[in-house]
Every structure is written in structure tokens, then in C-alpha cells.
Amino acid sequence: MVREAIKEQGSPHGVITRISIQLGVGSESLRHWVKQADVDDGLRAGTPSEERKRILELEKENRELRRANEILKAAASFFARELDPQPPSS
């Protein structure tokens, strides 16, 4: 809608505000959506939505793997102490 209105009007001035009122959403929310759509369509520089989603998934997986690694290190240390015979105390 915003792109069509800008084409019809010939100027982006006031388009987002007018359309946001028509749709009943905040103008800043609509402005953000339009910018992200421009990025996704290659009209503006930035990180596309799909790539951003993938990055977030990889960051989550990385956190989970780090946590699992810490648990495994602690378990290995525990079992190493259990299996290591202690010299008799004098």
C-alpha cells in the first residue's frame, strides 16, 4: 500500500502517517515494516528477514551447545575424580 501510494502521489511525504491511520497501526511500526520490506526486496541495504532469523537460530544453537559442553566438562571432571584412586592418607 505504501509503495503504491508513493507512486501515485509522487512523494513519500505524509504517506506512512496517512496509511497508518487508515490501518489503525502506529506510524513508526508501519515505517519499520516498509523499511524491512525494502531490505527483503533488495531495495535497501541491510539484513534480510530470513537471514536475521537464521542468525538468531544459530546464536540460540550456539548457546545451547556451549551449555551442553560445560555440563559435559563438569561430568568428565566428576567421573575422573571418582575413578582416580587416592593415595592412602598417613
In this predicted model, what pLDDT tens digit does every residue of 61-89 receive, in sequence order? Answer: 999 999 999 999 999 999 988 887 776 66
- CA proximity to 39, closest of 52, 29, 27, 26: 52
Query: What percent of the chain stands above pLDDT 90?
Result: 78
The model carries a pTM of: 0.66
- Chain centroid to CA 35: 16
* Domains of the chain by residue range: 1-46, 47-84
Q: At CA 13, angle to CA 10 and CA 18, rounded to 5? A: 105
